[in-house]
Amino acid sequence: MEEKGLLLIVSGFSGAGKGTIVKEFISRNNDVRLSVSATTREKRQGEQEGVHYYYISKDQFENMIDRGDMFEYASYVNNYYGTPKSFVMKQLEEGHDVILEIEMQGALQVKRMYDEAILIFVVPPHAKDLEDRLFGRGTETAEVIKNRLRRSCEEVDLIKYYDYIIVNDQLSDSVRMLENIRNAEHLKVKHYENLIDKLKGELQGIIN
């Protein structure tokens, strides 16, 4: 049977650069499947339905929760965000690596039910970078930015439950770090049980 794919989960403070890192990572590693989330937040300028998110109403979102169609979900700064279950399960079963870019509550929900998930947290070198990057992105009002920074402050104490951290200083270095994490995870002994068994058989054949 084909081995299941890796589930990579990228979270990080708002404005840390996780969306930018994941986008670049996917463009360089197009065998990795990116899960498209559902959200109740407004579409930003330049975003596309089904590419950045599925934009749905609060009622539609709650119906998906009730039907058990969400792999995980969370409320983040007055909106719902969630990962549709069917895509992720199918891709993992088929042996593809899947990446989710989701906030912390959702990531920790996944880790509790699926311990193999690999949790990666993105931070900037300095807190001030968050404010600068969010204002620089220009997609949120000053009030929403303040709420997102407040949320980041609450998230700090939970970073210890993550497996890896990426300090996003130079974008290209950060993308390489994400690739390194993926590569190292693929080299874990647990993924090589069949090869180890085969080598054992071959060795026994040689010595007998």
Give the interface with ligand 5GP as residue ranges (CB under 6 A).
14, 37, 41, 72-74, 76, 81-83, 101-103, 106
Binding status of residue 151 toward ligand ADP by CB under 6 A = no
Binding status of residue 171 toward ligand ADP by CB under 6 A = yes
Euclidean distance between CA atoms 141 and 175, whole angstroms? 28
- Residues 20 and 166: beta-carbon distance below 8 Å: no
Choose the binding region for ligand ADP from 65-73, 85-93, 103-111, 167-175 (rule: CB under 6 A). Answer: 167-175
Choose the binding region for ligand ADP from 62-70, 77-85, 166-174, 178-186 (rule: CB under 6 A). Answer: 166-174
The residues in 116-135 that bind ligand ADP, with binding defined as CB under 6 A, are: 133
Nearer to ligand ADP, 171 or 199 (CB): 171
The least CB distance from residue 171 to ligand ADP, in Å, is 4
Long-range contacts of 17-21 (CB under 8 A, 24+ apart): 17/122, 17/124, 17/133, 17/168, 17/171, 17/174, 18/101, 18/122, 18/168, 19/101, 20/171, 21/122, 21/166, 21/168, 21/171, 21/174, 21/175, 21/178
